[in-house]
Amino acid sequence: MKLHKKYLSIALIGLICLPAGCGQGESAQSAIPPAPTTTTLPADQYPKTQIYFAPDIDPMVQDRVRITVAGAEEIWGPVNDLEIWVTGLDPDAALTFRDEFCVIRKKTETESMYCDYKADKNTYLFVDFANQSKEGGKTYEDDGPLAFFNAFSKPSGYIVMPYPHGLASKWPVPSEIDQITIFHEYFHAVQEAARNLSEAKPFADYELMTGWMKEATKTFFKYDLLEPRWFMEGLAIAMSENHVLRLRKEGKIDVESDKGTYNPDLIPSLSGFLYETLYEVGELLEAEPNLRLKTLSDSENGRTPYVFGIWAINYLMVENGPDVFLNNFYPAIQELGWEKAFSKAFGKSIDQFYTDFDQFIRQPQDDLLQFLISSRVDSW
What is the contact mask toward Zn ion in residues 174 to 213, using x (rule: CB under 5 A)?
----------------------------------------
CB of 91 or CB of 144, closer to Zn ion? 144
State the Cα–Cα distance between residues 305 and 318, nearest whole angstrom.
19
Q: How far is the CB of 313 from Zn ion (least distance, A)?
A: 12
Residue 368's nearest CA partner among 278, 243, 234 is 278
| Closer Cβ to Zn ion, 2 or 6, answer by number | 2
How far is CA 120 from each of CA 14, 95, 124, rounded to the nearest angstrom?
42, 12, 8
Q: What residues from 235 to 264 belong to the interface with Zn ion (CB under 5 A)?
A: 236
CB of 189 to Zn ion, least distance (A): 11
Kindly identify the residues of this chain, within the stretch 210-239, that bind Zn ion according to CB under 5 A: 233, 236
CB 333 within 8 A of CB 227: yes
Rounded (5°) CA angle 332-336-342? 65
CB of 257 to Zn ion, least distance (A): 23
Interface with Zn ion (CB under 5 A), residue total: 4
Burial 175-210 (b: 16+ CB within 10 A, else e): bbbbbbbbbbbbbbbbbbbbbebbebebeeeeeeee
- State which residue, 264 or 322, has the beta carbon closest to Zn ion: 322
Q: How far is the CB of 187 from Zn ion (least distance, A)?
A: 8
Stretch that binds Zn ion, among 1-9, 61-69, 175-183, 291-299 (CB under 5 A): 1-9
Q: Give the H or E element holding residue 157.
A: strand 157-161
**Distance, CA of 362 to CA of 360 (rounded, Å):** 5
Q: Where are the alpha helices (DSSP H) in the chain?
A: 5-20, 25-30, 59-76, 91-107, 125-136, 176-195, 211-225, 229-249, 270-287, 304-320, 324, 330-346, 350-360, 365-374
> Nearer to Zn ion by C-beta: 1 or 278?
1
Q: Which is nearer to Zn ion, 239 or 247 (CB)?
A: 239
φ, ψ at 25 (rounded to 5°): -60, -45
Per-residue interface string for the shown chain with Zn ion, residues 32-71, x marking contact by CB under 5 A? ----------------------------------------
Q: Which CB, 164 or 264, lies closer to Zn ion?
A: 164
* Cβ proximity to Zn ion, 3 vs 266, nearer residue: 3
Task: Kindly tell me which of 90 and 233 has the beta carbon lying closer to Zn ion.
Answer: 233
Comparison of 306 and 357: residue with beta carbon closer to Zn ion: 306
Shortest spacing between CB 270 and Zn ion, in angstroms:
16
Q: Of residues 102-141, which lie at the interface with Zn ion (CB under 5 A)?
A: none
Shortest spacing between CB 178 and Zn ion, in angstroms? 15
Cα–Cα distance, 66 to 278 (Å, whole number): 34
- Tell me the backbone φ, ψ of residue 9, rounded to 5 degrees: -65, -40
Task: Kindly state the smallest distance separating residue 211's Cβ from Zn ion, in Å.
Answer: 32
- 289 DSSP 8-state letter: T
Pairing between β-strand 157-161 and β-strand 148-151 as defined by DSSP bridges:
antiparallel
Task: For the CB of residue 175, give the shortest distance to Zn ion in the complex, in Å.
Answer: 19
CB of 273 to Zn ion, least distance (A): 15
Distance, CA of 333 to CA of 221 (rounded, Å): 12
Residues that bind Zn ion (CB under 5 A): 1-2, 233, 236
